[in-house]
Structure 1
Amino acid sequence: MTRLRYCLSVLLLGLGTLFPGGRAAGQGDTTALAAPDTSATVFPDLAVLDSIVQNWYVSHYLKINEDCLSGAEIPDFPDSVYRKRMESLPTVIKMPYNAEVRSAIDLYTVKMRRGTSYILGLFPLYEGIFVESLMKYGLPVELKYLPVIESALKPKAYSRAGAAGMWQFIYSTGSKYGLAVNSLIDDRYDVRMASDAAARHFKDLYDIFHDWDLAISAYNCGAGNVNKAIMRSGSTDFWKMYPYLPAETRGYLPAFIAINYVMTYYREHNICPASASISPATDTLHIRRNLHFGQLSELCGIPMEELQAYNPQYINDIIPGAYRECVLTLPTHEILATIMGGDSVYTHNIEKYFPQSRARVIDDEMTNRRTYVTHKIKSGETLSGIAARYHTTVKNIKSWNNMTSDKIRAGKTLKIYNR
């Protein structure tokens, strides 16, 4: 079976460009690895873990227990303890213990303890989204920890290679999985959409390799590089092909194994999760008209930085509802204020936020895309009476129905748009 999978992997070498890694596969697939690479293993950029305090949610809602963090002893366990704990992890993906995994564990439990504490406090905010997407496609739930390695759970993470969001999609891979990127929206920053895309990407990678070690490696460096390593090592065993992989990928799987360990056994290492002073429940509104964060902020009293933090996918602070139906995420207690603002939210300072001809174009697009009801005129009804019934104006009804007169006739129908 191993030989068969090896042969299939070699045959699939050309598929590397069809299934690039989520992060920097396009760049990685051109790496020449003719001989084993003896350079030092590069673990994922854990420096980003130290900068996690820049996360808006962390700075506003999470607090480190300094007494716990600074006063706690940093324990040192023998290898036998680590092995036993690894064997007890409830995972489908293999979780071996070796020197590389131990090095990664030490990074999280010794050198980066403060960052790990924040991660433990922040992770519950996103865990449900990750798990829902993975279970939807029948994938191992332990993959939920990969965004910790990829981005330290920073929604606006952006790498030198152009990978964006928590799951670090490059443009080409994101586009393949339906993540739009334009001047107003970047779906790679949308946690729900990116999580769904990442799950589908992992499913495709597993369908190629039928091995989770290889699929995870391919997510990092691309299927092409994994196939090259298979061909040059003559094996589909990750640890046998290890020297033939790019340096960063050699550290990627050990880091994944390590974070699964740390998120389960952090108490044994005397690491305290950052505590949440408030953990706001969120809700969503579906937006079908263009809306600027400034309009929401001014009319509903919602801070701009809060709007940006909960909705990082919208570029230039514009929700392009006229382009497509968009989702606005807010703490539940602020949703009501937005709803109560009604149509006034969209028209508030529209000249300031959507000036000149742009405002007219947007209004045309909004009218074309809004839903409407059809009203059949009854005998004795007047245009003003119908307008009052639907909480609109005679002027609007005439505009929507291309009318030049206020006269109406029983039996005819009128379009009444939802504002």
Structure 2
Amino acid sequence: MNVKNTTLSLFLLLSVHLFSQEVVENKNFVKVEPKLSYLDSIKKTFVKDEMASCVDSLWMKELTNLDLYNNITDDIKNINIDEKVDYELPTELLKERLAAMDAKSPFNIEYNQGLENIIKSFLKNRKRSFERLMAISEYYFPLFEEALAKQNVPLEIKYLAVVESALNPKAVSKMGATGLWQFMYQTGKQYGLKIDSYVDERSDPLKASEAATQYMTNMYKIFGDWDLVLASYNSGPGNVSKAIRRSGGQQNYWNIRKNLPKETQGYVPAFLATMYIYEYHKEHGIIPNRATVKHFATDTIMIKKQMSFKQISDLLDVPVAQLQLLNPSYKLNVVPVYHDENHFLRLPQDKVAVFTSNEAKIYAYTQHELDFREKPFQVTKAIVVRDTTNYTTQRITLPKTKYYKVKRGDNLSEIANKYDVAVSDIKKWNKLKSNAVPYGKSLKIITEQSIVRTIKKEPKVEAVPSETVSESQRVVASEVKINKEEELASNPERKDIEYVVQKGDNLGNIAHKFGTTLADLKQWNNLSDHNIALGATLIVAKDEIVITTDKATADSFKKKANLATGIEYYVKKGDSLFSIAKKYPGVTISDIKKWNDIRGGNIKPGMKLKING
């Protein structure tokens, strides 16, 4: 019986397979692929490593968050180490632990009431901060230890970066000290760190760590005591020398502390307290958060053509925030290329594999982007294009101000990516001093809005040639050609077009730019003569039909369009979902599939499709 059932099942399986093959062979249609963008066509050919990305967005937020830096620096500056703190930690037990630390460290870790007070203060008020810092230190400490070990500097100095910057490479003090090790401009230059418009190596974890190690080595040759080396790192060797002289030649930090600057008086105790908490975090119930990525999970690649973080993000599917974290020395989110110097991009190892496997295609894409980039002084250049209908179009780029209300969990990097602008610009527009933004605040966002002005053509008018117009603008202009019916169906809006007078403008060249006359310009703007002021706003076209190509407005229009005319379309030979969707403004392939319950992308001639718009 079992043999019969098995034989029957096998026969049915083969029959279904043969029948399905026959059905496929008899289908009379040609599958038409939707047209891909240049970026998508490049990425489609990439040889991909299937290794999962090792950094998630929450970890990026943690590593780039500045609140830890602000809190710790405020603590060190304002803490009174002579004020007793109520926290359950027996003094005798603390003495015993400090003695154990002192036995294996070149620092003078001796018990005193001030050190006990600051340790208890950190344990009482900063437990959560240290849980987060211990996760971030898993990323940075191996890098610090390697730099320190090369020059035989005590490895405990790695804790100094926690005190200096809360392990944030983008930390900047009120005095301008920058990076993990908080180098001032001149000191950074003195120790060989490159600082220019594109690059600030004070924020480079590797190079700044090497410079800090060299500084420590030089100071130890002068003072011969690691506590005094730390004090000199904070206040400068000159202030330490003065404190020694004012203390009658004493050279123990705790003996000269009261003659040091106020901030330095709490600096070394904060360092020793940090070291204690790292050593005894388990005993105090501090459970470190776990790092999602270790430094050894990344690698570098030399860049041969200038690339922006946005281009790299688009090509490799790496968040811009992650690129900023891994490459903090690039100030403008651009990896530059100089003739006399190499620059390197740090990426997760799996992304390095994708980059190296597709290097030629990646550089071809960046060159393509460069070729199509708008050239200087062409922002408001109007381009007249010959059309097959009785209308022609002009594309005009104008600034547009929007406001974004900060939601819970937002950060500046995500908001900047949403609107394709720079974090530094958002901070400038909103006068923000740090990357922290309060929940509920409305942020001003300035973007460029392209509008397409439709005007009626005179008979036998040819395209207006212009050698100053870039090839990219001609391509863009040709892409926005529309006929009257499409225009009225998509966005039948009439309004005046305004233009802000630029340096070197006069009424004549403005009239020529916008295809109007001097008389009209004077009439529309109530001008009695040809004089115009720099920065003045002029009406350059009255009551024109305008189609906005601003992305946010276009998306909003598509959402609001309640298309319910119930058109029936019969598929013709050669049709595809892509070509049919193009016939109806605001309709996408997904819409057609949804309205007609189409699972795949296949349609046949004669099929009736419902179009809801």
What pairs with 1:6-405 in structure 2 (closer than 5 Å)? 56=60, 58=62, 76-89=88-101, 90-234=104-248, 235-277=250-292, 279=294, 281-323=297-339, 324-350=341-367, 352=369, 355=373
Equivalent residue of 1:284, what SS? strand
Gaps of 5+ in 2: 1-56, 66-85, 377-613
**Contact 1:57-1:309 within 8 A present in 2 as well:** no
- Equivalent AA in structure 2 for residue 331 of structure 1: P
Distance (whole Å) between structure 1 residues aligned to residue 135 and residue 315 of structure 2: 32
Change in Cα spacing, 1:178 to 1:60, as seen in structure 2 (3 Å) is closer
Change in Cα spacing, 1:162 to 1:60, as seen in structure 2 (3 Å) is closer
Which of structures 1 and 2 has the bigger CA Rg?
A: 2
Distance (whole Å) between structure 1 residues aligned to residue 335 and residue 285 of structure 2: 43
Change in Cα spacing, 1:276 to 1:140, as seen in structure 2 (3 Å) is closer
Distance (whole Å) between structure 2 residues aligned to residue 305 and residue 325 of structure 1: 23
- Equivalent AA in structure 2 for residue 261 of structure 1: Y
Spell out, residue by residue over 1:115-151, the C-alpha distance to the aligned partner (whole angstroms, 9 max, x if none).
0101111111111110111111111111111000001
Change in Cα spacing, 1:277 to 1:299, as seen in structure 2 (3 Å) is closer
Greater fraction strand: 2
**Contact 1:164-1:188 within 8 A present in 2 as well:** yes
- Equivalent AA in structure 2 for residue 290 of structure 1: Q
Of structures 1 and 2, the one scoring higher in RCO (CA 8 A, sep 6+) is 1
Change in Cα spacing, 1:290 to 1:349, as seen in structure 2 (3 Å) is closer
Query: Which shifted more, 149-158 or 324-333?
Result: 324-333
- Equivalent AA in structure 1 for residue 357 of structure 2: M
**Contact 1:100-1:251 within 8 A present in 2 as well:** no
Spell out, residue by residue over 1:337-362, the C-alpha distance to the aligned partner (whole angstroms, 9 max, x if none).
2222312323324465585789xxxx
What is the aligned-residue identity percentage?
A: 35
Change in Cα spacing, 1:208 to 1:320, as seen in structure 2 (3 Å) is same
Distance (whole Å) between structure 2 residues aligned to residue 168 and residue 59 of structure 1: 17
**If the length of structure 2 is used for normalisation, what is the TM-score?**
0.46
Gaps of 5+ in 1: 1-52, 62-73, 359-419
Distance (whole Å) between structure 2 residues aligned to residue 54 and residue 204 of structure 1: 40
Equivalent residue of 1:207, what SS? helix
Which ranges of 4 or more aligned residues in structure 1 deviate by more than 4 Å?
Answer: 277-280, 351-358
Change in Cα spacing, 1:320 to 1:77, as seen in structure 2 (3 Å) is same
Distance (whole Å) between structure 2 residues aligned to residue 147 and residue 353 of structure 1: 40
- Equivalent AA in structure 1 for residue 337 of structure 2: G
Deviation at 1:333, TM superposition (A): 1.5
Spell out, residue by residue over 1:25-77, the C-alpha distance to the aligned partner (whole angstroms, 9 max, x if none).
xxxxxxxxxxxxxxxxxxxxxxxxxxxx998362699xxxxxxxxxxxx9722
**If the length of structure 1 is used for normalisation, what is the TM-score?**
0.66
Spell out, residue by residue over 1:192-241, the C-alpha distance to the aligned partner (whole angstroms, 9 max, x if none).
00000000000111111111111110000001111111111112221121
Spell out, residue by residue over 1:65-109, the C-alpha distance to the aligned partner (whole angstroms, 9 max, x if none).
xxxxxxxxx972211111111111221112112122122212321
Distance (whole Å) between structure 2 residues aligned to residue 229 and residue 124 of structure 1: 36
Query: Which shifted more, 335-344 or 196-205?
Result: 335-344
Deviation at 1:154, TM superposition (A): 0.8
Distance (whole Å) between structure 1 residues aligned to residue 321 and residue 134 of structure 2: 23
* CA RMSD in angstroms, aligned pairs only: 2.5
Equivalent residue of 2:182, what SS? coil
Greater fraction helix: 1
Distance (whole Å) between structure 2 residues aligned to residue 168 and residue 116 of structure 1: 20
Distance (whole Å) between structure 2 residues aligned to residue 96 and residue 255 of structure 1: 14
Equivalent residue of 1:285, what SS? strand
Distance (whole Å) between structure 1 residues aligned to residue 288 and residue 115 of structure 2: 22
Distance (whole Å) between structure 2 residues aligned to residue 198 and residue 278 of structure 1: 24
